[in-house]
Chains A and B, each alone.
Chain A
Amino acid sequence: MDKKTCLYDKHVALGALMSPFGGFIMPIQYSNITDEHQAVRNHCGVFDVSHMGEVRITGPDAERYVNHIFTNDVTDAPTGQIYYGMMLYPNGGTVDDLLVYKMGADDFFLVINAANIDKDVAWMEEHKAGFDITLDHQSDTYGQLAVQGPEAEDVVETVLGLKVSDLKFYTAKTIPAGGEELIVSRTGYTGEDGFEIYGSHTYIIEAWDALLSSNRCKPCGLGCRDTLRFEVGLPLYGDELSADISPVMAGLSMFCKLDKAEFIGKEALVQQKAEGVSQKLVGIELADKAIPRHGYTVLHDGQPVGSVTTGYHCISVDKSVCMALVDTHVAKLGTALQVQIRKKVFDGTVVKKKFYEKHYKK
């Protein structure tokens, strides 16, 4: 049985196309994916991302524990700083990718993917022995909105009355509102400037209504969330990262601090860096308009060399492109590859995974 977010009734009332995603029944689109995508690139869109999971880690060993399960380095992190990284299996495969918010001394807020909540929480519980921490699973406590786009700062300040202009990219702060403490961060998953707001279900419903009735902000579904993140080369767990895909294979080594004393999976990554990996994530641009989709076979001189992880006809640049996991010997920029799309084979070229430039406000 799929769960519902606190905004489920709002989505249904708006006539959204609803579909299961990550254990939740979520809005895919309200009007159409292209219009919602363009609203975020050019103006402002709001997403219900209440399906995301939240875990709070507190206690004297909180920093040491987070450093143990997380690839990035939170040592002596300033309060409000946010880190992107992964939790790994000992073999280097990915448990999940996540954001870690440093909320205060001995206090971290972890944001995990909806589809992985049960698995992640079990993983965290399993690895807390020997650490003096409290692990509080708060996914049912928080609703979450993502307000994204070049006008997001003004919309959040004027419509919601939250002072966010002082927030730098990848930082967070708490803001009191209606008797509760919101967590607000300058983050997102679209390649545009924007904010993510964590609050009670009551607050999230009020904020959603205020944003929509302001007419400053278009409701946006998970359909365009995927096209937006894809264009700027951001990975999605299940496509570009998985138990079989390490961050080294996915080109995300910069978020794995191998100079850290230890973390689960470190030895495997050190070995992968030293010996190389058999497959790597690449971008492929097709000459034709045909659309490469997840799972389609990638060929080199007629031989299968990998498969597509995500592909679209890219909305912002009007090209058919994909990310694909391919054998390392054909992963060099400029290599001619082909993608099998149903019965036909289409020519493509290895390009950078970023198909459209990010527009973060740093």
Chain B
Amino acid sequence: MATFESGLRYSESHEYVRTEGEYAYIGISDYAQHALGNIVYVDMPEVDDEVSAGEEFGAVESVKAASDLISPVSGTVVEVNSALDDEPELLNKDAFANWIIKVQMSDPSELDSLMDVEAYKAHCEA
């Protein structure tokens, strides 16, 4: 069964955001990693790349298919989780502990349009 972490914001496309001041740690939810199955590759942007809310910034690949990663917020990539290069399966082991990119947000008000954990849970059950 998928677990849900409170205190995060979630997008309809199953990315989560954990905020720390002006920084956003973006990853995929436990629900998403369950649905994808064995993750074998994570396609990540580079540091200093710009990401835009609602737009693709990379992909998570299972054996069978590639799923786009959609950025929940806009800003500049300041760090990527390079551990995922060698161990993409970390997302299967603990999706919430293993964020994918860290973004310096350009418009933190975008967070308001994301779901809280209760709304996201309802979204997944729908």
Contact = CB atoms under 8 A, between A and B. Distances in A.
| Bound together | yes
Given A33-B64, A34-B63, A342-B59, A313 B43 contact: no
Contacts of B88: 289
A223 interface: yes
Given A29-B37, A32-B37, A32-B38, A290 B43 contact: yes
A291 interface: yes
A28 interface: yes
A84 B102 CA distance: 53
A56 interface: no
Contacts of A33: 37-38, 62-64
A291 B40 contact: yes
Interface in B42-65: 43, 56, 58-59, 61-65
A312 B41 CA distance: 11
B5 interface: no
A121 interface: no
Contact of A312 (B43, B63, B85): B63
Interface string B20-44: 0000000000000000011011010
A32 B85 CA distance: 21
Contacts of A71: none
B41 A291 contact: yes
Given A32-B37, A33-B37, A341 B63 contact: no
B66 A313 contact: no
A207 B114 CA distance: 50
Nearest to A224: B63
Interface of A: 28-29, 32-34, 223, 226-227, 289-291, 293, 312-313, 315, 320, 341-342, 344
10 contacts: A28-B64, A32-B63, A33-B37, A33-B63, A33-B64, A289-B40, A293-B66, A315-B63, A342-B43, A342-B56
